[in-house]
Structure 1
Amino acid sequence: MDDRLFRNVMGTFATGVTVITTEIDGDIHGMTANAFMSVSLHPKLVLISIGEKAKMRERIKKSKTYAVSFLAEEQKEISMLFAGQLKEKREAEFDRLNGMPVIKGAIASLTCNVVAEYEAGDHTLFIGEVTDMRFQEEAEPLIFYQGKYRGLKALKESIPS
């Protein structure tokens, strides 16, 4: 099977956009990811998938914790910052949740302790038990579809009544 075809097919699955963060010795590290899912309600478990070449993989293995921030529609630049897509130097603003760094203004944030990790192909799956969470009810999510950022507002406006 062709790698490009596989990527194109996977790109037709619309996802939310998250920033995964962790902290080691006072240094905050983050990366943009859309490979996130809920796993279990009892206990509350979530999963992130991190590529073997990503620096974040070793950082999470070391810290044994991570936070997930679900980005709001207007936070495209934050996503681009943590994806390494911005040329100019920018700083992200962080809040704290359960002592961990989370993206300020995100729709929702979770903090997690790693309870299991599994090697799967060229990625590591980190299952985290949720230790704290918060959300904003009124915000719209940032969406990623077919390699482009989208928002629900634009999508709603394009649908005929």
Structure 2
Amino acid sequence: MDGRKFRNAMGSFATGVTVIATENAGNIHGMTANAFMSQSLDPNLIVISLKEDAHMLKKIQESGQFSVNILSEDQQELSMIFAGQVETDEEVPFNYLDGKPVVPGAIAQVACNVKSEYIEGDHSLFIGQVTDINLEDGEPLIFSKGKYRKLEKAVTATS
């Protein structure tokens, strides 16, 4: 099967945009990712998928913890910074949730401890045991077909 065709098909699925963050020896590391999903409600588990050559893979293996930060529609530049598409000399600020670094202004911040890791194909799947969650108002940043997008505001019918 043509790899580009597969990639284009998968890119047709609209996803939210997250920044995965972890901390090692006082240094915070982050990366933009859309390979994230909820896995279980009881217990509260999530899954992230990282490519085998991602710098973040080893960082999470070493720290044993991470956060998933679901970005708001006004955080596109932040997504691009953590995707390596935009360079900045400014330090990106982080807050903490249950001892894990989180992105301020993200509409959801999910703190996790690594429960397990599975290697499948050229990616590692991390199962995260959720330890805390913070929610904020806002609309999500969306990514589909290689472009950032925003949700259209819902229109309420009036009688």
TM-fit CA distance, 1:100: 1.2
The separation in 2 between residues aligned to 1:42 and 1:76, in whole angstroms, is 32
Whether 1:16 and 2:16 are equivalent positions in the alignment is: yes
The separation in 1 between residues aligned to 2:96 and 2:44, in whole angstroms, is 20
One-letter code of the match for 1:65? Q
One-letter code of the match for 1:148? K
Counterpart of 2:143 in structure 1 is: 144
Let me know the Cα RMSD of the aligned residues.
Answer: 1.3
Aligned residue for 1:96, secondary structure, equals strand
Aligned residue for 1:39, secondary structure, equals strand
Runs (4+) of structure 1 moved beyond 3 Å? none
C-alpha contact 1:69 1:103 (8 A) present in aligned 2: yes
One-letter code of the match for 2:60? I
Alignment coverage as a number of residue pairs = 155
Counterpart of 1:28 in structure 2 is: 28
Counterpart of 1:80 in structure 2 is: 80
TM-fit CA distance, 1:40: 0.2
TM-fit CA distance, 1:94: 1.1
The separation in 2 between residues aligned to 1:111 and 1:87, in whole angstroms, is 26
C-alpha contact 1:112 1:132 (8 A) present in aligned 2: yes
C-alpha contact 1:81 1:90 (8 A) present in aligned 2: no
One-letter code of the match for 1:81? I
C-alpha contact 1:18 1:70 (8 A) present in aligned 2: yes
- CA-to-partner distance for each residue in 1:81-125, whole Å, 9 max, x for gaps? 000001343322211111111001000001101111000000000
- CA-to-partner distance for each residue in 1:18-48, whole Å, 9 max, x for gaps? 0000000100000000000000000000000
Aligned residue for 1:73, secondary structure, equals coil
One-letter code of the match for 1:147? G
C-alpha contact 2:72 2:141 (8 A) present in aligned 1: yes
TM-score (norm 2): 0.94
Structure 2 matches for 1:111-130, cutoff 5 A? 111-130=111-130
Structure 2 matches for 1:57-136, cutoff 5 A? 57-136=57-136
Aligned residue for 1:58, secondary structure, equals helix
The separation in 1 between residues aligned to 2:81 and 2:90, in whole angstroms, is 7
C-alpha contact 2:81 2:88 (8 A) present in aligned 1: no
The separation in 1 between residues aligned to 2:23 and 2:12, in whole angstroms, is 33
Whether 1:47 and 2:47 are equivalent positions in the alignment is: yes
- State percent identity of aligned pairs: 56
The separation in 2 between residues aligned to 1:88 and 1:22, in whole angstroms, is 20
> Structure 2 regions of 5+ residues with no counterpart?
none
